[in-house]
Amino acid sequence: MIVQILLIVVGFACLVFGANWLVDGASSLAKKYNVSDLAIGLTIVAFGTSAPELVVNIVGSVKGYSDIVVGNIVGSNNFNLFIILGISGLLLPISVQSSTAWKEIPISLFVAVLMLFLINDFSFSEPSSISRLEGTIMLILFLMFLYYVFNQMKSDPNIQSDIVPKSTTKIWVLIAVGLSGLIIGGQLVVTNAVNVANSLGVSEKIIGLTIVAAGTSLPELVTSVVAATKKNSDIAIGNVVGSNIFNILLILSISSIINPIEFNPKFNLDLYILIGGTVFLLIAMVTGKRKKLDRWEAALLLTFYISYTVYLVMKEL
């Protein structure tokens, strides 16, 4: 048991450092093409910080751990929304561009509702499952989202970034080492988290929603908190909103294409919470004179999800 827990910690360390190096290299690559901070947050940084979820879910899907796959996606999105934005907003109220309030956050809401729709009765597959066809639909929607962001990049007049460009060789070394760290870390986390869950009699659902979700969301947490302290709201919220879109449209789609995912209806409550939290964020951003998440709103997000997580764990004991 102790060895398995230590291996999980090592796995998380590989995920965090791997994602950090990947983001560093990818962001430097983006800098060479003069991409804006918001665009970097929605794409390069969001993809890099979502890479741990991608690797963990690919491993989980191949091994048939459906509850780990779904729990990691839903749990990570809720962690991003409630914990990361909550902490970042407490450090500094997060202001956003008009396009984020009226376009990117509604897209994130639509994607969460789409997931709820596909995994329940009104879908193309049997109830309580995500088929390869549905995964393909989500993947097509993800490509459409990338096309939308690409057009935003071309029309964005505010091209700016604090990223210091690196040499091409260093960029590709960072990307390669980062990806290697993610692959190794993903294997360690999934395998040992499932073993610990079985030893303790804790369900894969709870492990996926808490330990795995929190661990794979550490890169998003570090990135958004650092961005908030540097008063770069576009990176902070772009990272969270972009990651939530990536997690469902890209990661869940790839996972279901590899192996159709059996869905546990108990996850519906967590999906409702994700949808409700996204609606709350949207209302917070579009009301008032300035489009921002105030400290009291961030405190509400943080307090609610901590209370809910404690309730989940206590119910299992």
**Inter-residue contact 91 to 231 (CB < 8 Å):** no
Written as one letter, the residue type at 12 is F
What pLDDT, on the 0 to 100 scale, is given for residue 254? Answer: 93
Range 131-136 contact pairs with CB under 8 angstroms and sequence separation of 24 or more = 131/256, 131/260, 132/256, 132/257, 132/260, 134/256, 135/252, 135/253, 135/254, 135/255, 135/256, 135/257, 135/260, 136/253, 136/257
How many Cβ atoms sit within 10 Å of the Cβ of residue 229?
Answer: 12
Sign (positive or negative) of CA dihedral 201, 306, 270, 266: positive
Class of domain 2-316 (CATH, top level): mainly alpha
Query: Max Cα separation, the chain?
Result: 55
Domain positions in the chain: 2-316
What pLDDT, on the 0 to 100 scale, is given for residue 125? Answer: 46
- Nearest in space to 8 (alpha carbons), one of 268, 185, 174, 160: 185
What pLDDT, on the 0 to 100 scale, is given for residue 155? Answer: 58
What pLDDT, on the 0 to 100 scale, is given for residue 35? Answer: 65
Sign (positive or negative) of CA dihedral 72, 75, 78, 84: negative
pLDDT string in tens for the chain (317-residue length) = 789 889 989 988 887 787 778 767 766 776 766 666 666 666 777 777 777 788 888 888 888 888 888 888 998 899 989 998 899 888 888 776 666 667 888 999 999 999 998 887 554 445 567 889 989 999 999 999 888 877 776 655 544 445 455 677 888 888 788 878 877 887 788 778 878 877 877 777 787 787 778 777 777 777 777 777 777 677 777 778 888 998 999 999 999 999 988 888 888 999 999 999 999 998 888 776 667 788 899 999 999 999 998 888 787 66
What pLDDT, on the 0 to 100 scale, is given for residue 204? Answer: 73
